[in-house]
Chains A and B, each alone.
Chain A
Amino acid sequence: MSRAIFSKGLRGSALRWISALVLALCIGSAGSAQGTTGNDPHGGAGSTAALDDSDGISGVRTTPWDPEFIDLMRTLPVQQGGRVMPLDTLVRFALYRIHHKRVVRMPEEAIYGLNAGAALHPTQWALDTMVYPEWADSFPVFTLEDSEVLVAIGLADATKRRRDRYSYDEFSKAIPELADKYEEYRFIDGKRRTALQEQVVLFANAVIDYQRIRSALDFAEFRLSVADDPRLRELFGKDVVRCSDLLINLEELGTLLHGDLTPTQQVLGFSLRSLVGNAGMHWFAPTELEEERWLSIVEVFDRAGIGKLDPKHLDQVQKWEALADAFGDPKAEVEAARALHAALREAADARDQYAGVEGEVSYYKADWFGRGLYLFVAGFVLAAASWFVPRHTWFTRGALALTWGGNLMVICGIVMRCLLRGRPPVLNLYDTILFICGVGVTVLLIVEAVNRRRVALAAASILGAVLMLLAFGHELVDKRDTMGELQAVLRTNFWLATHVTTVTMGYAAGLLAWLLGVIFLLGRLFGIKREKRGIYQQIGKMIYGAIAFGVVFGTVGTILGGVWANDSWGRFWGWDPKENGALMIVIWFLVMLHARMAGYVRNHGMALMSIFGGVVVAFSWWGVNQLGVGLHSYGFTEGISTSLRIFNWISVGLFAAGWVALILDRARDRMGSPPAAA
């Protein structure tokens, strides 16, 4: 255990998920830890089925959620992955894992006042699922990339198109089979799984996420009538028992539920086991200040079981119950949510955690990178227009304004992330995309300000748009919290601020050079006039500038990485794949600079070499993470390999075509045509 955790934070978080899954799936088929042998297929439903005589909310939502209610629930603090986050973030990434999209669009029928096709954002969807599970089970939210998964779990007749959406209802009867398959596949090393096995594991994970959300409020909606059992009535002092009553009287219940039981007592015992069978959300705030662990309902029961029920936890449970009572009445919902929210907020505030929760929700609401993307695209359209109608400086000015605007959005987003985490900008792979975008676009815009040739401007808007798309794609493919905690070795702000940012700037420079190289070669290949030498010389200079920038930051960053490694692992350089990747970039930059210095290459040659440099950067940035070895493989990238391959093939193609063009140019020069631009 210890060793694996030292080097691979991912394994640690994987373990977390696995344990959650084991719980969820086991419970589905085996009841609680005490070992009922019920074989109800789905965990959440298992517990609600047991609680049939409760008058819990089932049915369909008819009135829209009050916006204030949604806001309160979004900002509800909950602990996951070792940090306190808004409920919104938790369900957001769960939705990514289940739905592979950011929002749920209801396909046909209109629901509670929303139009057909209206988007449900994550919290809204999660509330529907928590409060109206049976209804939500019919929403087609599960995205299957390959319908073979259903065939594998014995649902061959349920399959639709190869890639399609399914509702929980459509496959719930096959969940035991899914659980069996999952148990079999999840121990196979990720690299050795077949594509189908991988899909099964991902699907099972999505089901676990879903079950966790759909059963999150089971405890609050629990009601059991004990009117026909005098002993229980006496114990509880009321006819209808709620979860909080069980908590208060748990110890007495333990002694009471022995020997011959009345039917009601049997139901109660079974209900109790179901209740503690749900892993649930960790949203019961710790009451002692030095305590960091937020509890799930199971753990609250654990404590109550040993006579350590905390009054504040009981209060929180009762507030949830009040909320459950209010469901269906928008006004009462808001009232109850306010009380609950205030209690949790107070607990989070006491630890200085609430400001971050609210900040995080507003960060996601602001959608900085989405806005950035639109501005970059618009900027590119105007920049392209300015090339065709050079006389109208308005296009250029518009493009400049939009691209600067997009860049500002990106920078705002990055700054928000820094503030929320209290750390330098780059902590994970997702951050590198954002940071490279910010650095690359800023550098290009500065170059544009210096030379005003509109090349750097166009490149800036393209780069911004492509990287924003990449960021969105990665967030959805990775499906994990992008603001998660850092493992021990990374938790030193000095090194994060120096090594990580400088090395990432080196990557940015390589990608800039690649982009400029592509522009150069496409221009040459697709007949932008050879006489326009000025442009090519300008691009050549910019490529040189990008490489020079890259050498400065890449070299310093790489060596700083060694200095850091020397302080944390005791060696300056260990030939670990990520280190090698950074070194390869620096070596290639040095090759380019020396080749140019020696006169072996000129502009055209530099453009060709920068294409290859892009491939080297891509290998270091994404490729080595695919190898999955070494101390540095913190960033897990799944599904990235295809894009990487496409990038490499484009680069190879351009390189080859550009090289042929260079040879032809030289041949033409020798035969006495006008001198080539390069």
Chain B
Amino acid sequence: MKVLNQLFAFLASFGLAIAILVFMLIATFLGTIVQETVMSLPEAQRQYFDSWVILQRLDVVLAHFGFDVPIYQHGAPSQGDLGWSSSVRIPLPGGLLLMALLSLNLVCGGIVRMKKTLSRAGILIAHLGIAFLMLAGLVNEISADEGLLALYEGQRSAEYRDINRLEIAIMKRLEEGKVEEFTVSAEGLRSLRPGRRLTVAHPSLPFELDLHDFMVNSVLVHARGSRTALPVIDGYRLQPVRPVVELDRQDRSGCYATARIPGAPDQVGILWQYDGEPMFVSDPWTVRVGEEQYGVKLRLERREIPFEVQVEDFVADFFPGTRMPREYRSDVTVFDGDAETKHRIEMNEPLRLHGYVLFQSSWGPQNAGSDDELYTVFAVVQNVSDQWPAWACLVIGIGLTMHFGVMFFEYARRERNARVAREQEAAA
């Protein structure tokens, strides 16, 4: 019991709160400055904020503070002698660990153990609000999905691409031009160590796929004159490039695949996910098993919203004489079961329906001419806790204002009294 009490006292302590906050400050700072040199935002998010432990490279920190050190760029081929600082890794608590600890500390120290007096009411309310906000974050982390849905005017669909998940789609060609499709998650690719392989199989397929040499972002290049250990397929090879920095652009992941067919030689191919431009997809890699042909693709996972959207009208408007966007908006018809409703989706005004939120995200195609037909791109987000932060914000605002407002008026009263006393003293 004593141990438990001590543990609780530790978890509820100010010291722990301060330590966690300081480490959060450090993690946030580092997760920001790495974006300056070596990492895309999504990658920084994975390594710093969705992680339990951060292994901080020293070279990036030194470079930020103006030291002239060489910086190793992820995914680039050998860059010669990089000096000692690029190999030093400093372990630090990661975002997930800190959030978890902070939540615990907040509940123990800021809510359970806190004296429930009137003068502390504001603080208690604010702490409750922050706990609710953390809960919203947790729910979002666990349940939220996000993807893209691109449609030309007049098109109607419910299928969107989950931008965070990769899948392998294998299409078996049937007679009369029909296709049977199997999908397998390829998420394991991201954590694949160099030199290892990820084996993907499906019970109704006559072969296994070994996936290897995964690249977060890649380009397909002519193999001519290149020095590479990777296989060359039909004169092409994959080349890793720096993951994209912009949030609204996607990496084009790629990997090599070896199809292992019992009783036949292995077939090697390139899988390149070209979902960056959301209307288009790359051609599949063809695997031949006897007479049968299979198309294999690496792509963003396909998912469906529980209603269909048809774009009636899309407007991309610019300030006169400029290419600076003034407004984007899509007028859509939503087919929800038998119901048919009209909505307008525009910047800062998303459509919320059945736990899904559709945002005006972008449009395309890139480099469209003035007469080209444009498609509109909606970001699709499924998030139960969608509106929780707004409520948390209200609660926190009320709590903090109460607490510090009362304190300020107390201070003003005391100051006035002190001044009156001083003046009386002077008069006497």
Chain A residues in the interface with B (C-beta under 8 A): 1-3, 5-7, 9, 12-13, 15-16, 79-83, 282, 292-294, 450-452, 485, 487-489, 491-492, 495, 541, 545, 548-549, 551-552, 555-556, 559-560, 562-564, 566-577, 580-581, 583-584, 587-588, 590-591, 594-595, 597-598, 600, 616, 619, 624, 627-631
Contact: B41 with A576, CB < 8 Å?
yes
> Separation in Å of the A599 CB from the closest CB of chain B?
8
The CA of A32 and the CA of B405, in the complex, are separated in Å by: 67
Q: Which of the residues B21, B249, B357, B365 comes within 8 Å of A594, measured between beta carbons?
A: B21
Indicate if B408 sits at the interface (CB-CB under 8 A): yes
The segment out of B54-62, B206-214, B235-243, B322-330 that lies at the interface is: B322-330
Contact: A574 with B322, CB < 8 Å?
no
The CA of A489 and the CA of B249, in the complex, are separated in Å by: 17
The segment out of B172-180, B184-192, B394-402 that lies at the interface is: B394-402
Contact: A6 with B248, CB < 8 Å?
yes
Contact: A575 with B41, CB < 8 Å?
yes
Q: Which of the residues A1, A82, A591, A624 comes within 8 Å of B32, measured between beta carbons?
A: A624
Indicate if B117 sits at the interface (CB-CB under 8 A): no
Contact: A559 with B364, CB < 8 Å?
no
Contact: A6 with B45, CB < 8 Å?
no
Contact: B35 with A559, CB < 8 Å?
no
Indicate if B84 sits at the interface (CB-CB under 8 A): no
By secondary structure, the A interface counts as helix
Which residues of the partner chain B approach A567 to less than 8 Å between Cβ atoms?
348-350, 359
The CA of A485 and the CA of B317, in the complex, are separated in Å by: 13
Q: Which of the residues B133, B326, B386, B412 comes within 8 Å of A488, measured between beta carbons?
A: B326
> Separation in Å of the B37 CB from the closest CB of chain A?
9
The CA of A224 and the CA of B129, in the complex, are separated in Å by: 77
Residue of A nearest to B25 (CB): A587
Residue of A nearest to B322 (CB): A82
Contact: A12 with B325, CB < 8 Å?
yes
Take A2-B366, A563-B389 as given contacts and tell me if A572 and B18 are in contact as well, using a CB distance cutoff of 8 Å.
no
Which residues of the partner chain B approach A15 to less than 8 Å between Cβ atoms?
323
> Separation in Å of the B311 CB from the closest CB of chain A?
16
Most chain B CB within 10 A, of A16, A81, A555, is at A555
Which residues of the partner chain B approach A566 to less than 8 Å between Cβ atoms?
386, 389
Chain B residues in the interface with A (C-beta under 8 A): 14-15, 17-18, 21-22, 24-25, 28-29, 31-33, 35-36, 41, 44-45, 48-49, 133, 136-137, 140, 146, 245-249, 316, 318-328, 347-350, 357, 359, 361-368, 379-381, 386, 389-390, 392-393, 396-397, 400-401, 404, 407-408, 411-412, 415-416, 419
Contact: B381 with A563, CB < 8 Å?
no
Which residues of the partner chain A approach B22 to less than 8 Å between Cβ atoms?
591
Contact: B247 with A569, CB < 8 Å?
yes
Residue of B nearest to A534 (CB): B418
Q: Which of the residues B29, B349, B365, B412 comes within 8 Å of A450, measured between beta carbons?
A: B412
Residue of A nearest to B45 (CB): A575
Contact: A556 with B327, CB < 8 Å?
no
What are 10 contact pairs spanning A and B, CB under 8 A? A12-B322, A12-B323, A15-B323, A488-B326, A491-B348, A574-B45, A580-B29, A580-B32, A590-B21, A591-B25
Which residues of the partner chain B approach A598 to less than 8 Å between Cβ atoms?
14-15, 18
Take A570-B146, A587-B21, A624-B32 as given contacts and tell me if A491 and B396 are in contact as well, using a CB distance cutoff of 8 Å.
no
Which residues of the partner chain B approach A545 to less than 8 Å between Cβ atoms?
408, 411
Contact: A574 with B247, CB < 8 Å?
yes
Contact: A485 with B25, CB < 8 Å?
no
Contact: B392 with A559, CB < 8 Å?
yes
> Separation in Å of the A169 CB from the closest CB of chain B?
32
> Separation in Å of the B130 CB from the closest CB of chain A?
8
Contact: B320 with A82, CB < 8 Å?
yes
The CA of A591 and the CA of B44, in the complex, are separated in Å by: 24
Take A2-B366, A568-B359, A570-B359 as given contacts and tell me if A82 and B401 are in contact as well, using a CB distance cutoff of 8 Å.
no
Q: Which of the residues B18, B36, B137, B412 comes within 8 Å of A591, measured between beta carbons?
A: B18
> Separation in Å of the B71 CB from the closest CB of chain A?
14
Contact: A549 with B404, CB < 8 Å?
yes
> Separation in Å of the B396 CB from the closest CB of chain A?
6
Contact: A559 with B396, CB < 8 Å?
yes
Contact: A551 with B404, CB < 8 Å?
yes
Which residues of the partner chain B approach A573 to less than 8 Å between Cβ atoms?
137
Q: Which of the residues A80, A552, A562 comes within 8 Å of B404, measured between beta carbons?
A: A552
Most chain B CB within 10 A, of A282, A559, A600, A616, is at A559
The CA of A592 and the CA of B36, in the complex, are separated in Å by: 28
> Separation in Å of the B290 CB from the closest CB of chain A?
44
The CA of A379 and the CA of B340, in the complex, are separated in Å by: 66
Take A627-B35, A629-B35 as given contacts and tell me if A556 and B396 are in contact as well, using a CB distance cutoff of 8 Å.
yes
Contact: A591 with B21, CB < 8 Å?
yes
Contact: B321 with A294, CB < 8 Å?
yes
> Separation in Å of the A266 CB from the closest CB of chain B?
33
| Nearest 10 Cβ contacts at the A-B interface | A82-B319, A598-B14, A292-B320, A559-B393, A12-B324, A570-B381, A548-B404, A293-B320, A570-B379, A488-B325
